[in-house]
């Protein structure tokens, strides 16, 4: 291509040796530093423009339109008037702003610069410059643009319900408007009250019922970012003059205002109902499910008591139990197990609902697969531990202990103890929880009947083979703690005149009272550690 003819400018004078052109060209693979330097030069020269590629009219299956980027209305007007560089009829510019517009960048390199700018926080339409906080005027412009995008999309969908090509552009505008709200998480003290006051929270929640699941996924991602427990921390770190305690209090008030506004508009119910709309075979939908679970975790981290609201008002418990039973292991399965453990952690009613919904049998079936095989990687180890933790939490209730006994949970845990797989340590922990208190008497008796004493005392004496699996995470001291807990429950709950009691006592007599000697060793070791700790405490007091 003849560059001189393209830009309609006289030939440039030769410069340097060999008569090479003075026009700068960019390397094929520019570094971030080079991109930033070139961007700064362009802005200083007043020649920077952002040209957004034209929208695509591609439509996905299931009636969903793929969201694409579009120009702002102002940019479109400028484009029609021919004010963009490279369009015939544009205003004449000086040499630096005309022939050298763009610094000699190709379209691909200019797009890289735009992406780099966005990564630095320079999103279109957001009043953020070099890390400055969002101002209230910029926030209100964003919210107004967002509301207009919603209204336009609703109007076009109502007018052309059966012709996606008619509302594809407005759908793309809506997608861009939703994404433009992501930076609001940088200024929760200003943005969150404005979100509630302006009614934007209501509109956000309403979009969770949008016909296009891609729009729903965008909204879920936005809610996830806004409710993240670390929102606003980056801005506070950069502001050295702001008092940390006051900033934390303001941030917490803003978060509470936002979460309360979301809850008032039944956000939890809509989020759970949308889980069935998402097809996890598709990457975007799979990420949408993950972000939905992340929202639940964020809300519960801010206010743990909301776990009861989540279980009462939605069918999330049923969905989680079904999800952990999936044959294919993935990140969402791990996240579902983690959320289940959080819900059952400290709420009695949630545990009872879990038992009524067949949760005990479900978890026992899931754990049974680890009798003969170990998890294949660290993620699956985490999943297995989450399931064990969920079972342990629920066993704090007497009603769950009865269900555990009926579901042959004691027998399954004894088998796992014998197999010496990774699940062995966790099975000991589950038995400790199941046999505690007077409600655990039946489990103690079943443990003896299932021939668990031999395996238990083998582990107690350290005769069991050590796990060589590099994925093993449970320290030996934790196993010893739970083994001692089981022995204590056996002595406390088994009747003194029963055969099971005699079998238990016999274990301490055999082999020349070696179990008694082992108990004394454990006691002496504990006393020695306690003496060291007491000495350190005494020294700190003297100082």
- For the stretch 112-121, pLDDT in tens is 666 655 554 4
Question: Quick check: 184 and 139 in contact, CB under 8 A?
Answer: yes
429 and 405 in contact (C-beta within 8 Å)? no
Does 531 reside within a domain? no
In angstroms, rounded to a whole number, what is the distance separating the alpha carbons of residues 287 and 267? 18
Pair 255, 227: CB distance under 8 Å: yes
Task: Read off the pLDDT band of 134 (50, 70, 90).
Answer: confident
pLDDT cut 90: percent of the chain above it: 62
- Helical pair 267-275 and 316-324, crossing angle rounded to 10 deg: 30
Contact call for residues 303 and 354 (beta carbons, < 8 A): no
95 domain residue, yes or no: no
- Rounded Cα–Cα distance for residues 32 and 44 (Å): 18
- Buried-state track 102-117, b at ≥16 Cβ within 10 A, e below 16: bbbbeeebbebbbebb
What SS3 state is found at 65? strand
Choice among 134-138, 248-252, 307-311 with the minimum mean pLDDT: 248-252
Query: Half-sphere exposure (CA, 13 Å, Cβ side) for 366?
Result: 28
Least Cα distance to 278 among 292, 288, 267, 263 occurs for: 288
Helix locations, 303-406, DSSP H? 306-313, 316-324, 331-343, 348-356, 359-368, 378-394, 398-406
pLDDT > 90? residue 471: no
> Is 474 a domain residue?
no
Does residue 264 fall inside a structural domain?
yes
Per-residue pLDDT band for 92 (boundaries 50, 70, 90) equals very low
| Residue 533 forms part of a structural domain | no
- Tell whether 41 is covered by a domain: no
Q: Which domain, by its residues, includes 268?
A: 134-232+249-299
Rg (CA), the chain: 32
pLDDT digit string, tens, across residues 185-244: 988 999 999 999 999 999 999 999 999 999 999 999 999 999 998 875 655 444 544 455
Residue 456 clears pLDDT 60, i.e. is over it: yes
| Digit-coded pLDDT (tens) for 364-401 | 999 999 998 999 999 999 999 999 999 999 999 999 99
Residue 95's pLDDT band (boundaries 50, 70, 90)? very low
Neighbours of 325 (CB within 10 A): 13
pLDDT surpassing 60 at residue 171: yes
Chain-centroid distance, C-alpha 7: 50
Query: Do residues 101 and 93 touch, judged by C-beta distance below 8 A?
Result: yes
Quote the number of domains for the chain.
Answer: 1
DSSP code of 468?
A: -
Q: What is the token pair recorded at 4?
A: 């001189």
Residue 295 lies in a domain: yes
SS3 for 474-538, per residue?
A: CCHHHHHHHHHHHHHHHHHHCCCCCHHHHHHHHHHHHHHHHHHHHHHHHHHHHHHHHHHHHHHHH
**Contact of 492 with 437, CB cutoff 8 Å:** no
Average pLDDT over residues 15-35: 47
Tell me if 161 is assigned to some domain. yes
């Amino acid at each position: 291509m003849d560059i001189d003819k393209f830009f309609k400018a006289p030939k440039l004078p030769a410069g340097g040796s060999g008569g090479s052109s003075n026009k700068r060209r960019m390397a094929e693979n520019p570094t971030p530093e080079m991109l930033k330097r070139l961007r700064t030069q362009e802005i200083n020269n007043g020649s920077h423009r952002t040209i957004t590629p034209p929208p695509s009219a591609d439509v996905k299956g299931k009636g969903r339109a793929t969201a694409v980027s579009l120009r702002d209305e102002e940019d479109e007007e400028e484009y029609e008037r021919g004010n963009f560089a490279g369009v015939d009829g544009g205003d004449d510019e000086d040499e630096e702003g005309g022939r050298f517009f763009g610094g000699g960048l190709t379209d691909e390199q200019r797009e890289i610069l735009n992406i780099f700018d966005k990564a630095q926080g320079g999103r279109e339409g957001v009043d953020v410059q070099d890390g400055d906080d969002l101002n209230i005027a910029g926030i209100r412009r964003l919210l107004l643009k967002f509301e207009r995008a919603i209204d336009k999309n609703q109007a076009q969908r109502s007018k052309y319900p059966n012709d996606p090509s008619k509302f594809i552009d407005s759908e793309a505008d809506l997608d861009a408007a939703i994404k433009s709200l992501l930076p609001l998480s940088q200024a929760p003290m200003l943005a969150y009250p404005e979100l509630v006051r302006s009614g934007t929270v209501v509109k956000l929640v309403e979009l969770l019922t949008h016909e296009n699941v891609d729009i729903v996924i965008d909204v879920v991602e936005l809610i996830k970012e806004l409710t993240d427990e670390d929102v606003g921390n980056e801005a506070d770190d950069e502001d050295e003059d702001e008092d940390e305690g006051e900033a934390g209090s303001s941030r917490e008030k803003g978060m509470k205002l936002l979460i309360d506004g979301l809850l008032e508009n039944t956000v939890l119910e809509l989020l759970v109902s949308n889980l069935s709309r998402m097809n996890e075979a598709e990457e975007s939908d799979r990420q949408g499910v993950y972000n939905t679970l992340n929202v639940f975790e964020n809300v519960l981290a801010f206010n743990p008591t909301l776990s009861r609201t989540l279980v009462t008002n939605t069918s999330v418990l049923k969905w989680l139990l079904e999800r952990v039973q999936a044959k294919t292991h993935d990140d969402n399965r791990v996240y579902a197990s983690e959320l289940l453990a959080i819900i059952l952690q400290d709420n009695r009613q949630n545990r009872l609902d879990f038992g009524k919904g067949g949760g005990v049998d479900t978890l026992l079936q899931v754990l049974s697969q680890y009798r003969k095989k170990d998890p294949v990687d660290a993620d699956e180890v985490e999943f297995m531990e989450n399931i064990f933790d969920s079972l342990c939490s629920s066993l704090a209730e007497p009603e769950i202990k009865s269900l555990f006994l009926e579901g042959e949970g004691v027998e399954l845990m004894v088998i796992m103890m014998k197999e010496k797989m990774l699940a062995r340590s966790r099975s000991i922990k589950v038995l400790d929880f199941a046999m505690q208190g007077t409600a655990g008497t039946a489990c103690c008796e079943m443990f003896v009947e299932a021939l668990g004493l031999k395996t238990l005392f083998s582990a107690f004496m350290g005769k069991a083979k050590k796990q060589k699996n590099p994925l093993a995470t449970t320290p030996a001291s934790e196993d010893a703690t739970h083994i001692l807990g089981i022995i204590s429950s056996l002595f406390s709950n088994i009747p003194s005149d029963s055969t099971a009691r005699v079998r238990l006592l016999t274990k301490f007599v055999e082999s020349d009272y070696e179990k008694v000697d082992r108990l004394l060793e454990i006691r002496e070791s504990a006393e020695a550690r306690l003496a060291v700790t007491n000495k350190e405490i005494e020294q700190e007091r003297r100082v």
